[in-house]
Structure 1
Amino acid sequence: MKFILALDQGTTSSRAMVFDRAGTIQGMAQREFRQFFPQPGWVEQDGNEIWASQVGVAMEAVTRAGLTMADIAAIGITNQRETTLLWDRRTGQPLHNAIVWQDRRTAAACDRLKEAGREQLFRERTGLVLDAYFSGTKLAWLLDNIPDARRRAEAGELAFGTIDSWLVWNLTGGKCHLTDVSNASRTLMYDIHRGDWDGELLELLRIPASLLPRVASSSEVYGETAPGLFAVPVPIAGIAGDQQAALFGQTCTRPGMVKNTYGTGCFMLMQTGATAVPSRNNLLTTVAWRIGEQTEYALEGSVFIAGAAVQWLRDGLGIIRTAAEVEPLAASVPDSGGVYLVPAFVGLGAPHWDQYARGTIVGITRGTTAAHIARATLEGIAFQVADLLQAMEDDAGIPLAELRVDGGAAGNDLLMQFQADLLRVPVTRPTVHETTALGAACLAGLAVGYWQDQAEIAAHWQLDRTFFPDLPAERVAELRSGWSRALERSKGWALPGEPSP
């Protein structure tokens, strides 16, 4: 019997999982890696450390499953999106740390493009807003700030990639420089309608086309692992950005189906089929995946800080020792005691897109305790998701029937119940929470015939629990009104030109 190996390269850790035909995890390994904060608002990672941690957990997961690489039918890759790397094609060595998606150093560059009247062009071609979140301005910064990088790039000596490209490059020993459509659609350089890199946008960003990877589909055999990396060569057959992979893993393959992933950030996607729906509410229009010749699209709303707010309670405030402690602490009080926490630590994502917003706690009294702040933190995550859903329903014209959830914080029952209360629809949690890795495995398995079609994959989706709305509508309206007031106080707090957080 064969299995599929999924590589799940996330923002704070590299993970690997081995799946069987039923979509059940047979082996898993995880390794955290370092984050660097050279200046306020800057977030970097070491590309070599990412690769070492990822290949290490791949072998560890296979071993834990009691298997060898000969038992693996294919490898699927899913990754933190937008994070940007530049490396030497000859040596394979990065020229600089990776600039992470959370990094805000190029906010002013985005402002200059907006002032030049280019925002609508980027919006129409890429489906994205002009924000420091995406790869294009990060890559331009690397070219401008690494000595001799621009000349070397124009000479064809350098390669750019998001993390999927970096992993494929290393897995194949430098033979394959490619990305998939879902990752390409997050760079500010890719025309999602034509399905290709856009020369005019590259010119505006001053990016030489010679740097860019080939854009492939999300499910095909791209190549094999390099001789000597593992005991046998293994096909690499599926790639999708983490949120698109989760959408696929949640089997949201029909227009109108919605999933929300609760990770470092929070990401809600609505599948829109073959139609790239333009947003009127500051959501992103993005490629979901391409299988064969069929490209499918999604509407996306991104919350920059979700699980990272719980990490801040642990590492910044020190009111919990482990992330798991947040739920019992928050549940020790009946409500937040009127406290609202807006986790705009690095600005606000959709539908607000305010890069000058900052984290805010309001409603504190002498009676406020650590438990109230913990509960307000979880509720702040749910309020942001509710804002997204409202915008998504307005854009698509489709009322939500249910929300499918996944990611680490989806295991937090208190958060999931509050989410259902706010949304006024059932929140459904699958048995396999690791839908991001599962999605990558499914894309790879489809390419090699491990699964015959998407219907076979959908048959394996299993429900763990459904959370039904419980709070009265009037109380929900009161809570959301309070959240709106707190949100307004967080917006525009930092002044342009001030150091970012």
Structure 2
Amino acid sequence: MTADSTPKMFIGALDAGTTSTRFIIFDDAAKPYATHQIEFEQQYPHSGWHEQNPYELIKCANECIEGAIKKFIADGYSASDIKAVGITNQRETTVVWDSETGRPLYNAIAWPDTRTSRLVHHFKDKEGAEKLVQTCGLPISTYPSALKLVWLLENIHAVQEARKRGTLMFGTVDTWLVYNLTGGSTPGTDPKFVTDTTNASRTMFLNIKTLKYDDFLLDFFGVSQGVKLPEVVCSADDNAYGKIASGVLAGTPIASCLGDQSAALVGQRAFSVGMGKNTYGTGLFLLYNTGEEPVFSENGLLTTVGYHFKGEKPIYALEGSIAVGGAAVKFLRDNLQLIAESDEVGQLAAKVPDAGGVIFVTAFSGLFAPYWIDDTQGTIYGITNYTTREHIARATIEATCYQTRAVLEAMAKDSGYELKMLKVDGGMSNSDVCMQIQSDIVGIDVVRPQYRETTALGAAIAAGFAVGIYTDFNDLKNINTEGETTFKPSITEKKREKLYSLWQRAVSRCGGWLQDEDDDSETQEEKRIEDEVQKRFA
């Protein structure tokens, strides 16, 4: 069936992001028919800590499915018209639960969380650390799941006890969702305890070449005993993920699962070597298709699995992960209250021709690719009596654009190929001002699709391949191509380089802010918080 034929079948996509969950129903031409979205609570119990309630993740998923199906039925369709569901999720966020009860043993530790910064330094000094990148594709940092699990094993009594009993289950958000959607601890169900290769490649437990758990990696992080790890399966598979156990979609197969950035790569149809995309979400994530063999970066990038469809060879990608994107806009809105709504940041930024010499290094979780500076926090340089909130707004947008340029330059060095065009999606890409600034700073065309929920679209495309709705990438050549907007550079090369030089100078000065010595008062505060959370999950 071709992508432009009359709609006869539908696919549901569950997009479990960092701050919200949505369920979108697409037809076989990838046109959205119904959607329902819920924003869920973020918990910040201590500086650098970022948690989520695992129960709320499931509750939001179920409510979004119910809400979208209700709208779908109201439009004259039936839930049985949905042939499969695809899942895409925030990556690296870590969940632990008990295999006997199905109950979480602690809050989910979200991917931007930096409580493991001390562990980073410990493991970087450990024998064998130099082998990690060539084995799993990732550097030691607070970002991947590995150190989050280590922290839980070292600090949370309930987790330690479950490990002794042999009932400790570990998973990223995809695993937690699939496990519960397919029945969880409900008697008489067949819950699936699985993860796909794109999510597994973000844990530091997976050998990036064999796509299997690696004994050296498990031993290095001390998790080779007493921890149940999910089975690693393909991103698109008609059998591996089971069927939804209850609710309006009971009996519907889950046919795909991809980490959100891999899903966006698929949604942007970046199926050829050399194609890439940048997603402007809570963070920014630039992925570049490198083909069937992993490419190991010498310039601060990550090697990851782009996607892996059943019966096909895995496709790898280089990734530049930027910790703070939309989160900085949220910071202006919620913490500083400089704006009332997120979309006002572009309106403010447009009122000034530049940031007035202000540089905002939005290192709330340290700096990720290509810098990997853990010992820093958010820093604003260049504030004078001339500075206004308009300058701060523009500097906030520029921070994401400068970091994107740094990642693009690193990718060019690693691949030997410079992108001529940057495909974009995600919340911040809705802003014309932001995308024009991005084009000015990187000096190439920035292309934005009319429909920008490409993460959910990618999950739907993968599920469609798994159940035979699509059989060839040519089926997708016309998907989401109408109404594209192209932003072209509008400033001189001299001005571009001057601005970027100022950013580089700020980055060079922001490291070393955090010290690595123990602080008794901080340790006591962390212990108090841990005790509170343990009581909540007792």
Mapped to 2, the partners of 1:154 and 1:211 lie a distance apart of 12
- Which residue does the alignment assign to 2:280? 262
1:136 aligned onto 2:153: no
- Which residue does the alignment assign to 1:217? 234
Per-residue deviation, residues 260-288 of structure 1 (Å, max 9, x unmatched):
00000000010000120110001000111
Mapped to 2, the partners of 1:496 and 1:458 lie a distance apart of 51
Query: Residue type of the partner of 1:2?
Result: M
Q: Could you tell me how far 1:459 is from its partner in structure 2?
A: 2.5
- Which residue does the alignment assign to 2:13? 6
1:17 aligned onto 2:24: yes
Contact 1:171 1:229 in 2 (8 A): no
Mapped to 1, the partners of 2:127 and 2:324 lie a distance apart of 29
Give unmatched runs, 5+ long, in structure 1: none
Contact 1:88 1:95 in 2 (8 A): yes
- Which residue does the alignment assign to 2:442? 423
Mapped to 2, the partners of 1:406 and 1:231 lie a distance apart of 29
Mapped to 1, the partners of 2:244 and 2:399 lie a distance apart of 46
Normalization by structure 1: what TM-score?
Answer: 0.97
Per-residue deviation, residues 430-468 of structure 1 (Å, max 9, x unmatched):
121000000000000100011222221232131520111
Greater CA drift, 183-192 or 477-486: 477-486
Q: Could you tell me how far 1:116 is from its partner in structure 2?
A: 1.6
Mapped to 1, the partners of 2:44 and 2:242 lie a distance apart of 35
Contact 1:154 1:208 in 2 (8 A): no
Per-residue deviation, residues 103-135 of structure 1 (Å, max 9, x unmatched):
111121121111124332211111001011110
1:324 aligned onto 2:324: no
Pairing of 1:361-380 with structure 2 (within 5 A): 361-380=380-399
Normalization by structure 2: what TM-score?
Answer: 0.90
Contact 2:82 2:252 in 1 (8 A): yes
Report the CA distance shift for 1:296/1:108 in structure 2 as closer, same or farther (over 3 A).
same
Mapped to 2, the partners of 1:473 and 1:252 lie a distance apart of 29
Look up the SS of the partner of 2:505 in the other structure: helix
- Which residue does the alignment assign to 1:488? 508
1:92 aligned onto 2:110: no
Contact 1:73 1:450 in 2 (8 A): no
Pairing of 1:51-450 with structure 2 (within 5 A): 51-65=58-72, 66=75, 67-153=77-163, 155-174=165-184, 175-208=191-224, 210-221=227-238, 222-230=240-248, 232-291=250-309, 292-450=311-469
Contact 2:265 2:277 in 1 (8 A): yes
Mapped to 1, the partners of 2:263 and 2:371 lie a distance apart of 25
Contact 2:99 2:168 in 1 (8 A): yes
Mapped to 1, the partners of 2:133 and 2:250 lie a distance apart of 44
Q: Could you tell me how far 1:44 is from its partner in structure 2?
A: 0.7
Q: Could you tell me how far 1:148 is from its partner in structure 2?
A: 5.0
Greater CA drift, 149-158 or 191-200: 149-158
Q: Could you tell me how far 1:137 is from its partner in structure 2?
A: 1.2
Q: Could you tell me how far 1:355 is from its partner in structure 2?
A: 0.8
Mapped to 2, the partners of 1:319 and 1:150 lie a distance apart of 44
1:474 aligned onto 2:494: yes
Per-residue deviation, residues 203-243 of structure 1 (Å, max 9, x unmatched):
12111465100000010122443443335410100110000
Mapped to 1, the partners of 2:130 and 2:434 lie a distance apart of 37
Mapped to 1, the partners of 2:164 and 2:301 lie a distance apart of 34
Mapped to 2, the partners of 1:204 and 1:95 lie a distance apart of 24
Mapped to 2, the partners of 1:95 and 1:69 lie a distance apart of 34
Percent of aligned positions that are identical: 44
Give unmatched runs, 5+ long, in structure 2: 1-7, 185-190, 527-538
Length, aligned pairs only: 501
Look up the SS of the partner of 2:368 in the other structure: coil
* CA RMSD across the alignment: 1.6
Contact 1:360 1:489 in 2 (8 A): no
